[in-house]
Amino acid sequence: MRGLACLVLSTFLPLGNAVMAADPGYDRVAGRGHASRSEVIAPHGMAATSQPLATQIALDILKSGGSAVDAAIAANAALGLMEPTGSGIGGDLFAIVWDAEKNELTGLNASGRAPQGMTLEYFKDRGIAPIPKFGPLPVSVPGAVDGWFELHGRYGRLSMEQILAPAIRYAREGFPVSEVIAHYFVSNRNRIGHYPGFAETYMPGGDVPKKGEMFRNPRLANTYEAIATKGRDEFYKGDIARAIDAYMAEQGGLLSYDDLAAHTSEWVTPVSTNYRGWDVYELPPNGQGIAALQILNVLEGYDIAAMGFGSAEYLHTLIEAKKLAFEDRAKYYVDMDFADVPVAWLISKQYAAERRALISAERASMSLPAGDRKLEDGDTIYLTVADADGNMVSLIQSNYRGMGSGMTPGDLGFVLQNRAELFALDAAHANVVEGGKRPFHTIIPAFVMKDGEPLMSFGLMGGAMQPQGHAQIVVNMVDFGMNLQEAGDAARINHTGSSEPTGSVMTDGGVVNLEDDFSAATRAALEEKGHTLGASDGSFGGYQAIMFDKEQGVYYGASEVRKDGQAAGY
């Protein structure tokens, strides 16, 4: 494999003393020396997605001579069919790509912008506040298809007809719905099933498909075929765009043909911080990726390994670091075409030291200030693919709030996203709604370099869980010695209630949601520090990862135990 130098292999060693020093009441096997499953190891390529059939499609593309990006696009298209509860071409896309031949790490922001008619005055004049979660008003331009073609234009080897053919076949012939996706179909039916076009597409038998039921979406097959044969302009300037325009006009929405025709993606440079020798990369705003870097910078000032995994001391420190980062997230993370976002300052070690001083070791904070610099819901899919030439792609894609807005145009076979819900309706807020502006975004891919070489492509989808989840994965591996699968299996926390980019403010410290495996002693100690604990509600994200071992010439793969996913190689 080209372009990958020798990596330190300590990452792959058995768990060390740091993990064994964890809270003795922590019972999950993932904290005790083994995971729910072994890491997957293969020499030629690896794919990890949230749906086994999508993983197999990615591998088939790799075996057919496709690149990692070709396989990622094919898997994403399959997930838009098989896991529409978290993805689809009505949504947006972000990616980080390692190009082994050029020895280059590149990012793509394929998020869409607000329609030109979506202004603060529109909502004020009609007395609408906040922006609705569902229906025609929160729909922004879907960027995923343009993202596919941007990625393919730089890194593709096979034709788009070859890449989309597997998803088209499954859309026509059908596939059996898996367990987690069947569950989310029900919740999406209950909140958006009444919108025109939804039932015709997703409830052809009178209800959404159940676990094991064969489901077909011939409408989406037709749409994919049109995109494959006519190109990206068919979606943004052709018959698909005209169908979306007509449907949105009928529903009283703001998205128009002109908004679609004007859309472009943006190639960006990933930004990073070094956490104890690991260079962790995220994309800059309008996404929330740099919150993970801010959390890690704060945590680096503590001896996390000595605290022990699952201990109240560690969890309290993690929660407080998350709160600090999310106050800045609420204030600063916006479309950088519309504001001077101080990214370098926010992810600097000096700033982390200043913010760290606000943390009390004994008491939970009820409210916190954002840094003074003058100038949680959401379902997603994450996937990662690596090929035989050393190329790796970290890709995340979503409609937001599960299946999105409920707007299911014509006979196209997909739902449009509702990302514009995340705009603020405060003229003084940096994230205030404005035509042509990209909304604050939750979906974030991640990548790790070590000693100047690529090490790991990973992500953990799930709304505001994502940056705190990214930080937990890195800490699990670096501080607690877990391997790739163990790091994802280990119990997680999800702190909710921080200030938000929509304008809401944390005043009561928020709520700490813990997975069941944390001990009663840890829970009691957190409550004694003033934290409010919530139930284990399942909102702990979905993890996929690939790591490369240059010395052996193999990839390691891991997939989320909480989902239907699969990591597989060849």
Among all residues, which ones are annotated catalytic?
Answer: 380
Among the listed residues 353, 363, 367, the one whose alpha carbon sits nearest the alpha carbon of residue 316: 363
Q: How many CA atoms lie within 13 A of 263 on its CB side?
A: 33
Rounded distance between C-alpha atoms, residue 209 and residue 185, angstroms: 7
The whole-angstrom separation of Cα 559 and Cα 358 is: 36
Amino acid (one-letter) located at 262: A
> What Cα–Cα distance (Å) separates residue 407 from each residue in 14, 193, 244, 413?
49, 10, 9, 11
The CA–CA distances, whole Å, from 311 to 149, 304, 344, 514 equal 46, 10, 32, 12
Residue type, 233: D
Q: Please name the amino acid found at residue 100.
A: A
Cβ neighbour number for residue 10 with a 10 Å cutoff: 8
Find, among 567, 385, 547, 447, the residue nearest to 10 by Cα.
547
CB-count burial class (<10 Å; 0-12, 13-18, 19+) for 439 = buried
Give CB contacts under 8 A, 24+ apart, made by 209-213. 209/177, 209/182, 209/185, 210/177, 210/182, 211/177, 211/178, 211/179, 211/182, 212/176, 212/177, 212/182, 213/176, 213/177, 213/182
Beta carbons of 71 and 95 less than 8 angstroms apart: no
Instruction: Report the C-alpha gap between 333 and 330 in whole angstroms.
Output: 7
Contacts of 327 (CB under 8 A, 6+ apart): 368, 369, 370, 371, 498, 499, 506
Residue 136 — left, alpha, or beta (φ > 0 → left; ψ -120 to 50 → alpha)?
alpha
DSSP helix/strand/coil, 556 = strand
